[in-house]
Amino acid sequence: MKALAYQRAHPLEAFAIELVEVAEPVPRDADLVVEVGAVGVNPGETRVRRTRSADPGGRVVLGWELAGVVVAVGPAVSGFSVGDRVLGTGDPTRDGCWAERVAIDHRVVARVPDTLSLVDAASLPIGGVTAWEALFREGGALPAGVDRVLVVGGAGGVGSLATQLLATRTSATVICTASRPESQRWCTTMGADLVVDHGADVPAALRSAGIEHVDMVLSTAGTAANLAWIAPLLRPHGHLAAVDLDGPLDLGPLVLRSVSVHTEMVFNAVVHGEDPSAQGRILHELAADAAAGRLRPITTTRLQGLSAQSMRAAHQLLESRRTIGKVVIAT
């Protein structure tokens, strides 16, 4: 089968992902084999491309956000059949979905409702599961006492879905940061009650709106650099959830406020061999919300075809750091 693969980590300027012939996926007992119909492309995948090389003689196939059709079912799978349309995430320790077919654990998959296209379905898994796990605790609810949430980076994939989940599933006041007029309008469309410019003085902007403190901050980008202004905004015993912590972080500014910190990594369960079934249940909820009109798919850029050209275009868009919503490639 065909897949997009590369051998050595490389910058965008030396883009080396190419369409090559690879072996068919070998499923495990709990796997589905899915014919890929659409893939969401994420900033994390561009970072892997820049930093991770294949083992000697090998190749890397990225891609961990997809929608497609089940073509084979492992003996330990329940709840899925050949022909089902599904959406899912994946496992970064295995070959990804930038391929014609992929083997994926059925526990990180959910059915796609008939009313939802595969392209729109592919815009939901990574951002939706990340946002859900970062925001919600037991029973799919915000921590007790959280009535005001600030989403830093509200126009990105995680921020867009976090804003919608907060607006439709909670009574919290939702505040987003976004720097450009078009991204600010997008945040309002997603359900934000207030949008402020994260390139300006965020605390001052909130004070001018009568807001001294928030109960929770979901930070999707720039957390380490922004902590100096995030910390004073959080109330004592508030909550910081961050999805971009992959280096040293000085937590000193948070200590005097006894802030709870949640670090979110969507692949935590599959990477560490834990049961990821909760993510399958989250995906089911996201799909049901989309089918009911409570959740808007966030596909804003649709590219066509599993090709090096379309993937390079997606990476170029993401590395511009000016994308809104999700870039999806229909394969």
CA-based nearest residue to 17, from 43, 56, 39, 46: 46
Rounded average pLDDT over 185-205: 96
Asked if 86 contacts 32 with a C-beta cutoff of 8 angstroms, the reply is: yes
| Tokens of residue 276, six digits | 């990821």
User: Using CA atoms, how far apart are residues 147 and 135, in angstroms rounded to an integer?
Assistant: 12
Query: Which pTM was predicted?
Result: 0.97
* In the chain, alpha helices (H): 43-51, 118-121, 125-135, 157-169, 181-190, 202-208, 223-233, 252-255, 268-271, 277-292, 308-319
Whether residues 273 and 242 share a domain: the answer is no
Q: What is the structure's pLDDT at 140?
A: 86
Q: What is the structure's pLDDT at 191?
A: 98
User: 210 is in which domain, residue-wise?
Assistant: 127-263
Q: How far is CA 46 from the centre of its chain?
A: 13
Whether residues 104 and 137 share a domain: the answer is no
Indicate if the pLDDT at residue 243 is higher than 90: yes
Mean pLDDT over the full length of the chain: 96
Q: What is the structure's pLDDT at 137?
A: 80
Whether residues 223 and 246 share a domain: the answer is yes
Domain count of the fold of the chain: 2
Rounded average pLDDT over 55-61: 96
Whether residues 151 and 233 share a domain: the answer is yes
Q: What is the structure's pLDDT at 249?
A: 84
